[in-house]
Amino acid sequence: MASIRAEDLRIEFPLYHFARSMKKRLLGVASRRVKEDPQNRVVISALSDLNFTIESGERVALVGHNGAGKTTLLRTLAGIYEPVGGRLTVDGEIGCLIDPAAGMDGLSTGRDNIRLRGLYRGLDAAQIAALEADAGEFSGLGEFLDVPIHGYSAGMSIRLAFAVATAFQPQILLMDEWFSAGDADFMAKAQTRLEQLVKASEILVIATHDMDVVKRWCNRVIRLEAGRIVGDEVV
């Protein structure tokens, strides 16, 4: 059974590499989010005092303005950022659709990039071959699979990235709002595949602005504002 539990979760970004005068100016402005930590570092408090539990079966939408901390929370749940305060426990295998193009090599062909992604996921040779067949076919790139991806159009890059990223079925699906580009024909295909993935996952956490997505997929909305939870309701 998958679950996520956060207690008093806190994430702070230290600001390094800037001049002393800027530090003074930054701290001079009365702000809730820019502050000085006990080691005299200027930090941006990205997430503060988050408490929530997400159980199997929940479909959570993270909503809030730009900079509210949605993506930071996703990255924290994925284990990329480690909390400076509080506790985080995640049970279940995580699939992370934050930046689908991460780890892609521009000078390698589409096919090589699929295989590389397989290695990133720690797959063995047979699994990589299966991934190559599945993602290659779904992307619909045909002969372009053997062309270096820096020659791809924006739409083609997204098709490849999407096909690779959605080829794994995780228990916990973390998703940022990026599935928007691509041609109309592909989008219809993409929607179906994404919906399958969402339905088969035990937990979905999606950062979104789109109320349609919330209505269609989610049964709980967590609203973030300036790094704090200001609303948490079942819909």
List of residues contacting other proteins (CB under 8 A) = 10, 13-14, 16-17, 75, 78-94, 96, 98-99, 102-103, 105, 107-108, 116, 119-123, 168
Output the smallest distance, CB 18 to other proteins, in A. 11
Distances (CA, A) of 205 to 77, 143, 174, 186, 234: 9, 35, 5, 24, 14
Q: Which CB sits closer to other proteins, 165 or 218?
A: 165
SS3 23: helix
Collapse the DSSP code of 126 into the 3-class scheme (helix H, G, I; strand E, B; otherwise coil) and give the result.
Answer: helix
Both structure tokens of 46: 């990205």
CA angle 82, 210, 104 (to 5 degrees): 50
Nearer to other proteins, 107 or 129 (CB): 107
Shortest separation between residue 196's beta carbon and other proteins, angstroms: 18
Structural contact between residues 98 and 71, judged by C-beta atoms closer than 8 angstroms:
yes
Pair 37, 216: CB distance under 8 Å = no
Residue 14 Cβ vs other proteins, minimum distance, rounded to whole Å: 6
Minimum distance of other proteins from residue 216's CB (angstroms): 26
Nearer to other proteins, 93 or 137 (CB): 93
Nearer Cβ to other proteins (103/151): 103
CB of 206 to other proteins, least distance (A): 17
Q: DSSP class of residue 179?
A: T
Residue 150 vs 216, nearer CB to other proteins: 150
Handedness of CA 62, 67, 71, 73 (dihedral sign): negative
